[in-house]
């Protein structure tokens, strides 16, 4: 547990150092990125992004079980991880872009919490109205992130990013609904697909950045 906690908090530093080490003098944009360097970035982003679903799951389960202290810790680290995901683009796109993406990804994390609270309302029977509001928040946030990323990098088309984020949100919803019912088998079964999908998102970002800035991956 402690290893995962330290990993989630330190990955922004790892990514920043990565870019500092592997950013040689400007070269022709026609160059192709070194696959080994791109693979390193993918692994760093995968570790960072998987921390998101880890802390969300920890928050949801501990909240359902009434473990308030544990839930508070999970929420704290989940928020820090969301901010780190946003700031992970700062070494390439600048601090202002990192702060903007951090705000947007914290918005995603907030939508997850809103859906959890909706599902756990009424003694865990849920509130249809609150669930709809949370889903609307998910959808609006996914659109905002898709617009932001596609405007920063043409290799991340808006519709593609939006589709990836909607699937990710649906996985959160399925996991939270199962937890509300204490359907632990279904909740557990959501984990592997969530991991594989979050890896897909991380890899898409890494590939897009490497394609846009191949000179930084030589």
**What pLDDT score was predicted for residue 162?**
98
Is 46 inside a domain boundary?
yes
| Cα 3 from chain centroid (whole Å) | 19
- Asked if 104 and 145 count as a contact pair (C-beta separation under 8 A), the reply is yes
Band of pLDDT at residue 13, cut at 50, 70 and 90: very low
For residues 96 and 103, give the distance between their C-alpha atoms in angstroms, rounded to a whole number.
11
Read off the DSSP letter of residue 185.
Answer: H
Residue 52 lies in a domain: yes
**Mean pLDDT value across residues 155-170:** 98
Q: Could you tell me the residue range of the domain that residue 171 belongs to?
A: 34-216
- Whether 7 maps to a domain, the answer reads no
The pLDDT assigned to 31 comes to: 81
DSSP structure string for 73-113: HHHHHHHHHHHHHHHTTHHHH-HHHHHHHHHHHHHHHHHHH
Query: Which residue in this structure is represented by tokens 């692994």?
Result: 43
How far lies 201's CA from each of 80, 132, 141, 181, in Å? 19, 25, 16, 29
Q: Is residue 56 part of a domain?
A: yes
First to last CA, the chain: 35
The pLDDT assigned to 22 comes to 37
pLDDT at 11 over 60: no
- Residue 180: its pLDDT value, please? 98
pLDDT digits (tens, 9 = 90+) for 82-103: 999 999 999 999 999 999 999 9
The fraction of the chain above a pLDDT of 70, given in percent, is: 86
Q: What is the mean pLDDT of the chain?
A: 90
- The per-residue pLDDT for 7 is 44
| Count of structural domains, the chain | 1
Share of the chain above pLDDT 90, in %: 85
Higher pLDDT, 30 or 170: 170
Q: Are 64 and 124 in contact (CB under 8 A)?
A: yes
Q: Is 14 among the domain residues?
A: no
pLDDT at 2 over 50: no
Does residue 151 lie within any of the structural domains? yes
Q: Give pLDDT tens digits for 178-201.
A: 999 999 999 999 999 999 999 999
* Measured distance CA(37)–CA(34) in Å, rounded: 5
Among the residue ranges 13-17, 34-38, 111-115, 123-127, the one predicted with the least confidence is: 13-17
Q: How far apart are CA 134 and CA 119, in angstroms?
A: 10
User: In the predicted model, what is the mean pLDDT of residues 69-87?
Assistant: 98
Predicted pLDDT at 41: 97
Residue 44 in any domain: the answer is yes
Residue 113 pLDDT > 80:
yes
| pLDDT tens digits, one per residue of 130-147 | 999 999 999 999 999 999
Residue 24, domain member (yes or no)? no
Tell me the per-residue pLDDT of 14-53, one tens digit each, with 9 for 90 and over: 444 344 333 444 444 548 999 999 999 999 999 999 999 9
């Amino acid at each position: 547990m402690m290893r995962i906690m330290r990993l989630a908090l330190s990955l922004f530093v790892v990514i920043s150092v990565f870019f500092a080490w592997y950013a040689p003098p400007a070269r022709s944009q026609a160059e192709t990125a070194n696959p080994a360097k791109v693979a390193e970035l993918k692994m760093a982003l995968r570790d960072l992004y998987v921390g998101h679903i880890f802390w969300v799951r920890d928050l949801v389960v501990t909240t359902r079980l009434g473990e308030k202290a544990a839930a508070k810790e999970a929420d704290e680290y989940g928020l820090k991880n969301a901010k780190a995901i946003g700031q992970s683009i700062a070494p390439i796109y600048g601090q202002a872009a990192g702060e903007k993406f951090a705000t947007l990804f914290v918005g995603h994390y907030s939508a997850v919490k809103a859906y959890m609270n909706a599902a756990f309302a009424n003694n865990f029977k849920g509130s249809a109205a609150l669930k709809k509001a949370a889903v609307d928040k998910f959808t609006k946030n996914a659109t905002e992130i898709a617009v932001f990323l596609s405007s920063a990098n043409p290799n991340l088309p808006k519709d593609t990013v939006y589709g990836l984020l909607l699937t990710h949100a649906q996985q959160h919803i399925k996991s939270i609904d199962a937890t509300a019912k204490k359907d632990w088998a279904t909740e557990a079964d959501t984990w592997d697909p969530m991991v594989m999908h979050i890896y897909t998102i991380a890899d898409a970002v890494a590939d897009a950045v490497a394609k846009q800035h191949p000179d930084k991956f030589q």
